[in-house]
Amino acid sequence: MNKIAVEGRSVGVTYDDNGNAHILVWVPLAKDKVELFLPGDNVTLPLQKQDAGYWHLITNQVKPDVIYQFILDGDQKLADPASLFQPDGVHGLSQTFNVNDFAWTDSHWNNLPLNKYIFYELHTGTFTPEGTFEGIEKKLDYLKELGITAIEIMPVAQFPGSRNWGYDGVFPFAVQNSYGGPAGLQKLVNACHQKGLAVVLDVVYNHIGPEGNYLGEFGPYFTDKYKTPWGDAINFDDAWCDAVRQYYVENVLMWFRDFHIDALRMDAVHAIKDMSPKHVLAQMKESVYQLMEVTGRTHHLVIECDLNDVRYINPLDEGGYGIDAQWTDEFHHALRVTAGQEKDGYYSDFKGIADLATAYKNAYVYTGQYSAQRFKTFGTEANENGGQQFVVFSQNHDQVGNRMLGERTSTLHSFEMQKLLAAAVMVSPYLPMLFMGEELSQPNPFLYFVSHGDDTLIEAVRKGRKAEFADFHAEGEAPDPQAVDTFERSKFEWELFEREPHQSMLQYYKALIRLRKQNKVLSSLNRKNIKVFYDEAANTLMLHRWHDGSYLISLLNFSGQQQSAELPFQKDTWQKIFDSADPQWRGPSASAEFVEAGSSVLLQPQSILIYQYTYA
């Protein structure tokens, strides 16, 4: 059973063209029998034992949309570990779902190349009043008008209750029931493609959440060889690991093939422990290539990884894992310290504008030097990796929600600094990402919230959140993650849409994104055509980029005072194409439209100016 089913899922319950159900479950340690139980009909169907610990059955008695569970050795009754739908949550029974029943209308859709992605990270439960996939669908025109090209949905794998970030999922194949289940996700993806929007889904392959985690009852899905911050690691390289690897590779393929997801963002892959000759990420990438050959569709893999190790994003034929892109937290850290973030916790490693200049030029800040915060030397150089392999941002769910009070930049920084932070991301030679609400300068927090059902676990989460902020010397009490109010306070405030200064910020973001998409220098992600100059005392930075005869100078002033900067070269006239301090964006004063090379230009406090020269 080691051959991955590229053309169709094998694990769980699937259906052939004749309506027969194919049932496959991995229970290598079952002593006697494995059965499928249909409580609605009070029918028990025995599975046949196969090689490598699998049990299998083909039957016409299991129809779509019926409740079922497995019975192990006549005793244990458990939901399907590859269930697609848990209508009653993590402790309930599974419900069959035929992925082929949905009538897709996106045959015209071609996934965007990564260099065209402008990400918008959102959380289904808090993005809309409904907190569902259907609610997101109602807001697609808003996102399209904003200029977004790809929505990134935080994890939807079934988690306990209805309030959770999604990283506590325990059924990797099941789509959260309170969001709309698998049918709702298919409908949303289809609607996104109709609007010309790509869909990125956040998935978690480094651990399984604590509540409702029954995988270990079926087989050795976990190993005690390694530990993650969340408990035992997934068994990717220990005894019986072949089936576990197949389980997760099939999960990747399912999202792409059966839900038409365009890209996956894999959470914290540095916590995936695998010493196999072929890393499981490389196996996933190989399988995605095989799927693409069959379907003709293109899919991307994006990772979160804090190791600064290009092995993850280098091509398979160069000994890498073949991942297409990664989140680049170090750009964020350097940017935020430059903007005034206190150097505590993981920010303590960053010096500010000098490191921001390094991030613009090198992608990674740490490329082999000593990290005082990590107590070790780490990082590799990424000189040969293109700009489309790095995703940058001024905030995301982690960097907001992992603050004790969940503050966004809107409450930490001035209106002018918020505009500068957004532009600093957009002028980079990397892929930009927004976190939901930043385009409206949303003042509400995005807090950490859960809805566990176990009192002991609830108390452990509360204590864990308090301990997490020890390195940040935070004062006061962390909001109760279990409280409904914590979740409600994190909701997107749509009523701000037409109020000031939120409307001005929205129009600013639209103009900024439009410039990013239309300007040939900004839309080119060639990392070779870039020079960076900075003045540490003035806290200013000059980013010089060029492409196809067009030259761009971005002047960033992170200080609270006016600063002057001299444009390079000794000839030519530079034309202003963007000015965050322009009064149309509620700024203090617009700068000159044209500036002669070699002359100085006045930078308003906490602002960005972009000038361009194009040879005829």
Q: Which residues are catalytic, by number?
A: 267, 304
b/e map of 62-82 (b: 16 or more CB within 10 Å)? Answer: beeebbbbbbbeeeeebbbbb
> Cα(545)–Cα(531) distance, rounded to whole angstroms?
7
Helix axes 329-338, 415-426, angle to 10 degrees: 150
Which among 203, 207, 433, 201 is positioned nearest to 328, based on CA atoms?
A: 433
Q: Given CA atoms 506, 155, 224, 448 in this order, what sign does their dihedral have? A: positive
> Cα(78)–Cα(60) distance, rounded to whole angstroms?
22
Tokens 């000038």 appear where? Answer: 611
CA angle 85, 90, 92 (to 5 degrees): 75
| Structure token digits, residue 350 | 């960053």
> Cα(212)–Cα(209) distance, rounded to whole angstroms?
8
Residue type, 73: D
526 is in an annotated binding site: no
268 is in an annotated binding site: yes
> Cα(245)–Cα(223) distance, rounded to whole angstroms?
13
397 is in an annotated binding site: yes
265 is in an annotated binding site: yes
267 is in an annotated binding site: yes
- Do 326 and 304 touch, CB atoms closer than 8 A? yes
Residue type, 82: A
413 is in an annotated binding site: no
Which among 120, 185, 178 is positioned nearest to 150, based on CA atoms?
A: 120
402 is in an annotated binding site: yes
399 is in an annotated binding site: yes
Phi, psi for 193 (deg, rounded to 5):
-65, -35
Cross-strand bridge partners of residue 22: 14, 58
| Structure token digits, residue 357 | 């200049």
200 is in an annotated binding site: no
269 is in an annotated binding site: yes
Q: Where are the beta strands (DSSP E) in 456-599?
A: 530-535, 540-547, 550-557, 563-566, 573-579, 594-596
How many CA atoms, within 13 angstroms, populate the side-chain half-sphere of residue 389? 22
Say how many C-beta atoms besides its own lie within 10 A of residue 34's C-beta: 24
DSSP annotation of 191 reads: H
Residue type, 88: D
C-alpha 32: how far from chain center? 43
- The three-state DSSP-derived secondary structure of 119-176 is EEEECHHHHCCCCCHHHHHHCHHHHHHHCCCEEEECCCEECCCCCCCCCCCCEEEEEC
206 is in an annotated binding site: no
> Cα(172)–Cα(249) distance, rounded to whole angstroms?
11
- Do 150 and 302 touch, CB atoms closer than 8 A? no
C-alpha 364: how far from chain center? 19
374 is in an annotated binding site: no
270 is in an annotated binding site: yes
Binding-site annotation: residue ranges for substrate: 265-270, 329-333, 397-402
Binding-site annotation: residue ranges: 265-270, 329-333, 397-402
